[in-house]
């Protein structure tokens, strides 16, 4: 029996070749930034227990890993430092001290891989004895007093060779303050990828394990956003846009696809999304238990973030994705 059905969408799905022609959203290694971790010492390659396949590297093993990463076509990494407690203090002074691990690592990476785009983290928590992203006085996170520290950190990172700075602390006014500090020192070409919309999320747990940077008291809800809010995301993004951000980021990604889409529809800057540690760990754990196909889940996840409107995705899956495409 034949039916008269003039529109048959299945015709555009009948073969792999035709599906490729009709594909609306594309995903490539060029869209990805690979977060990586550096620790003190030598010969260190320590797996993060809650993030299978992700390692803390000392500088020597990091440089070896970067050879493989860049050969796979990954063009940008985001480096995070893990410091021992004896290097931390109230004012995060280690973050801008000449000769510190992180700044020396940036210089070494840029010397060996000059074409690699190097993104950094601008926040107090890896260096703070309080474990917070801002300066703490009497149990309160001080906003304006934190800005001076962030500016010193940002200039030091730019001087060490950073291409993109990632202020991740959610203090008010930080993008403009950092932009002014950079420009005053002649770093007008250094970009800012602002963590414009960073929610107080449960999905950050494995990252804090990787850096040993959990708050020593309380939580981060006075500066990170309420997961219930999306209009507030537009306010935060607009402020960072006006203050000179070059990219606007949403973090986390999967629970906030609607927020990514909202920012993409309202701003003409590239939108970034951070596919965070907890999102990575969920897929890894399920795949290890045989509950789902890890590669397919990874690809579907990354595609969903792109489809929502993210031009850039920070993801711990970057190397795995690149290996699949190789």
**CB within 8 Å of 119: residues ≥ 6 apart:** 33, 76, 77, 78, 79, 162, 163, 164, 165, 166, 193
Per the model's pLDDT, the better-predicted residue between 70 and 205 turns out to be 70
* Residue 144 φ then ψ, to 5°: -65, -35
What are the catalytic residues?
Answer: 198, 251
Burial class (CB in 10 A: 0-12, 13-18, 19+), 240: buried
Per the model's pLDDT, the better-predicted residue between 228 and 141 turns out to be 228
Determine the pLDDT at residue 129.
86
Tell me: pLDDT of 74 over 90: yes
H/E element, 211 = helix 205-211
- The structure's pTM equals 0.94
Encoded tokens for 88: 């931390």
Tell me: pLDDT of 313 over 80: yes
Q: In whole numbers, what is the pLDDT of the chain averaged over residues?
A: 94
- The annotation places the binding site for Mg(2+) at 236
Tell me: pLDDT of 2 over 70: yes
Determine the pLDDT at residue 218.
58
| Beta bridge partners of residue 120, listed in sequence order | 79, 165
Determine the pLDDT at residue 205.
81
264-276 residue pLDDT tens: 999 999 999 999 9
Determine the pLDDT at residue 213.
59
Determine the pLDDT at residue 60.
97
Determine the pLDDT at residue 214.
62
Residue 261: pLDDT band (50, 70, 90) is very high
Residue 131: pLDDT band (50, 70, 90) is confident
Tell me: pLDDT of 210 over 80: no
Tell me: pLDDT of 211 over 70: no
List domains and CATH numbers for the chain: 26-325 (3.20.20.70)
What average pLDDT does this structure show over 108-126? 96
Per the model's pLDDT, the better-predicted residue between 233 and 205 turns out to be 233
Determine the pLDDT at residue 220.
80
Q: How far is CA 320 from CA 59, 209, 219, in A?
A: 22, 21, 33
Determine the pLDDT at residue 215.
66
279-296 residue pLDDT tens: 999 999 999 999 999 999
Determine the pLDDT at residue 21.
94
177-193 residue pLDDT tens: 999 999 999 999 999 99
Residues 210 and 276: their CA atoms lie apart, in Å, by 12
Determine the pLDDT at residue 155.
98
155-165 residue pLDDT tens: 999 999 999 99
Of 230, 306, 299, 226, nearest to 272 (Cα)? Answer: 306
Which value, to the nearest 10 degrees, does the dihedral of the CA atoms of residues 181, 185, 186, 191 take? -40
Determine the pLDDT at residue 130.
81
Determine the pLDDT at residue 216.
66
What average pLDDT does this structure show over 42-62? 95
């Amino acid at each position: 029996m034949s039916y008269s059905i003039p529109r048959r969408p299945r015709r555009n799905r009948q073969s792999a070749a035709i599906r490729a022609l009709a594909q609306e959203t594309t995903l490539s290694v060029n869209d990805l930034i690979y977060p990586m971790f550096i620790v003190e010492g030598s010969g260190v390659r320590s797996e993060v227990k809650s993030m299978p396949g992700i390692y803390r590297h000392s500088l020597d093993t990091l440089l070896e890993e970067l050879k493989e990463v860049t050969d796979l076509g990954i063009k940008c990494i985001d480096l995070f430092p893990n410091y021992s407690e004896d290097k931390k203090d109230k004012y995060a002074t280690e973050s801008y001290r000449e000769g510190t691990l992180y700044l020396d690592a940036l210089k070494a990476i840029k010397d060996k891989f000059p074409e690699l785009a190097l993104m950094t983290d601008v926040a107090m928590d890896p260096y703070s004895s309080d474990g917070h992203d801002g300066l703490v006085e009497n149990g309160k996170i001080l906003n304006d007093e934190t800005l001076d520290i962030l500016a010193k950190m940002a200039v030091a990172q730019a001087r060490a060779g950073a291409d993109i700075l990632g202020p991740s602390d959610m203090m008010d006014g930080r993008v403009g303050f950092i932009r002014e500090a950079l420009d005053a020192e002649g770093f007008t070409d250094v970009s800012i990828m602002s963590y414009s919309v960073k929610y107080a999320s449960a999905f950050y747990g494995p990252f804090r394990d990787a850096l040993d940077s959990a708050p020593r008291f309380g939580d981060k809800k006075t500066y990170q956003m309420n997961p219930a809010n999306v209009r507030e995301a537009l306010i935060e993004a607009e402020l960072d846009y006006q203050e000179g951000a070059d990219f606007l980021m949403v973090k986390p990604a999967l629970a906030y696809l609607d927020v990514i889409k909202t920012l993409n529809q309202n701003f003409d800057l590239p939108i970034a999304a951070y596919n965070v540690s907890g999102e990575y760990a969920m897929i890894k754990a399920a795949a290890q238990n045989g509950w789902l196909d890890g590669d397919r889940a990874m690809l579907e996840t990354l595609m969903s973030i792109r489809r929502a409107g993210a031009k850039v995705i920070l993801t711990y899956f970057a190397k795995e994705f690149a290996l699949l495409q190789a």
